[in-house]
Chain A
Amino acid sequence: MKATVLVRPKPGILDPQGKAVEDSLKHLGFRVDGARVGRVVDLEVEAADPEQARAEVERMCAELLANPLIESYEIELAEGT
């Protein structure tokens, strides 16, 4: 089963990468007010059903994929896989 994890810097956390991206976009003439840079992890999970897959990916996030002190995460399970 395919799952995607989106990891983001929590609100209020200094995100210098996002700031650099925002500044560069402005430099190119785009009108942006804020940019935050996170991380995408695409996974192929072995699980019997979506519930089990989600629970498994939750554990992956808690144990490794995100640092709860500074990052939030979202899990998306691909439909029909």
Chain B
Amino acid sequence: MTEARPRVAVVVFPGSNDDRDAALALEALGAEPVLHWHANSELPDVGAVVLPGGFSYGDYLRAGAIARFSPAMQAVANFAADGGYVLGICNGFQVLCEAGLLPGALRPNESLSFICDDVPLRVERAGVAFLTRCEAGQRLSIPIKHGEGCYFADDELLAELDEAGQTVLRYEENPNGSVDSIAGVVNASGNVMGLMPHPEHAVDPLIGSGSTDGALILEALVDRARERLFAAA
């Protein structure tokens, strides 16, 4: 029996550039991706939303700061408030932080260099909706490519996030100056996750270093989308 393909929206902002890669990866992993233009305030009936990487609105002012006001983001905020699963990758992570859907902020890399590299990550917590296909402590190899991926939360916020188990992914070797080597966080309810590494670039063994660890994260998202859309059926 073939499993039904859940629809997953990939929001396209002016300046997004990983939207098609995300859509291809989602399709390869059993979803039906729907590219959703940022000016469209009506989100179609989808089981999950991906905010892709890129440089939305040219990263003017601060990365993600302008995208947050797009009509699509209002719909995404409502979708998240309703318990919908939202994954922000790289620029998508920056947008979610600026929109207040995730805690913290992303700043220019400590080195001021744009970094494009495969980096080892550690899964800090496996109970998270986006990491159900991983184990706690598991090492993942997923590429990063960003100039502003230095995660910041002040000491108080950081303690809160750790206490609540929201700091879910860490770099094994800090590439960009992120506080506490944080690579990815979830919101308090666990239905919104942001990460700087690009899981969509680590799905096909023919591409990049050959790691398919990114599929573990995206497939979990597809699982959640399937549950959300078809659970009642």
Contact = CB atoms under 8 A, between A and B. Distances in A.
B65 A69 contact: no
B177 A70 contact: no
Contacts of A65: 61
Contact of B65 (A17, A20, A67): A67
Nearest to A70: B105
Interface residues of B, number: 19
Contact of B98 (A13, A14, A67): A67
B78 interface: no
Interface string B138-164: 000000000000101110010000000
A67 B177 contact: no
B107 A13 contact: yes
B98 to A, nearest CB: 7
Contact of B104 (A13, A17, A20, A69): A69
Contact of B61 (A20, A64, A70): A64
Interface in A50-72: 64-65, 67, 69-70
B107 to A, nearest CB: 6
Contacts of B108: 16-17
Contact residues on A (Cβ < 8 Å of other chain), bracket? 10 to 19
Contacts of A20: 112
Interface in A6-62: 13-14, 16-17, 20
Looking at A17, A20, A69, the one whose CB has the most chain B CB atoms below 10 A away is A69
A65 B98 CA distance: 11
Interface of B: 61-62, 65, 69, 98, 104-105, 107-112, 150, 152-154, 157, 177
The 8 A-B pairs with the shortest beta carbon distances in the complex, nearest first, are A16-B112, A69-B105, A70-B105, A16-B110, A16-B108, A67-B105, A20-B112, A70-B152
17 contacts: A13-B107, A13-B152, A14-B110, A14-B152, A14-B177, A16-B109, A16-B111, A17-B108, A20-B112, A64-B61, A65-B61, A69-B152, A69-B153, A69-B154, A69-B157, A70-B105, A70-B152
